[in-house]
Chains A and B, each alone.
Chain A
């Protein structure tokens, strides 16, 4: 227990919560703008910047490394835009090319840098290492998070309109290109901030997963941003705690697993939009429809025979309505809408069924509803 509450854990947990919250907020915009993969590109593309920052500054200075990551991440983002707009290359191809180009350059630089002394910590940025976050880094981290959130709050309505309808935003005279650039820088800052924790490979999951999870539960943008931040914080805290339980368990990957689990649960279980809810709803509709078919058939046959109490044979109903009718009949009987009809002479091959009073009433109600 004492180990659980160690100062290291508290530092890691706070850093993870800060980054989780910011990633959730920014990831919402990434996901809604359909730019999830841009986040992946910026994250991977920050690797050459990290190593270049190390080589130029001659040591693993935190600031130099982050500045390098920011520059190469932003460059990659601009390169994607340039390839799409200028060269007319399809977005997915542009994203793929830029990602591999920058990541390959990063790996090459990394292999060069490892010949230098003091480079051992650089591979941390590949997968992240929470223990590398120092207590002294926390205030700076909190400041950056606050700054990003402040910019987002100041231009909230503009970012929202651009995310929903770029053309309309431009027609209203908003400087859409400039807003895009600001947002891209905010994405880059968020990603770079999370690198030491989650690493270039996994950071994109921290952006996308909480946003995808939050989308399932809300009807508005502000609630989505808030919930995504909450999910991000939860993922950060659970990542820090779980990794403290077992020696050598990395925080970043556990954060990602936790966030992804939240996303999967949300996609499955959310009441309005969840897969489970939709499947169950479809099943309910189908059952109601089958039940109605059988009631209609019983009622219609009764009318055709000029005898509302006419009880047709089960075999006839099955031939008319298809397999599965037996199950529907059993259910309708349980619900008290039909009952076995009195046997006739000569005896039929299969049982006969007739509508009960409740069945007649239900059928009349259904017909009135359908006729509206």
Chain B
């Protein structure tokens, strides 16, 4: 429905506790960091409206619980999502390994239709870096994701990350729309049939639906 003009996407935010998921998304949506005056009580479900090349995009950003004990619940969260942001802490090698397991899961569950972004957060702590840029970059390209270095504290790389993600999601959405249009004959006929059956007693309505 009206897909060409406005899009709404679901984006899940994955990452271990303490990698700065919340700071990242709050920086993006409210442009604040460690502020006492956030306008929201919660940073787990946030909406952001974007305008990319004249297209209105609405992002629903779903935070997920990153604790190990909730790991198994991942699939419930990222069902039907269009994009995923995987956050790790550049000073924490473990958090990067965790990202790898999520990427595997996401690819398994959602296939290639999901756009992945890997964000190496806390680059303001460059001197303590534990995950090398080359390693992260090569890993990201190997799984078809984009790698960004971000800092919620310094407000670096975050805008770029979301804009890029939105662009890629639009691409996928539009190409799948085309796909659907091409296969319309088969794709939506069963549904149409149901509707027509629905309306069969009233003849005039059949006409309306057909047109």
**Are A and B part of the same complex?**
no
Query: Which residues from chain B sit less than 8 Å from chain A, CB to CB?
Result: none
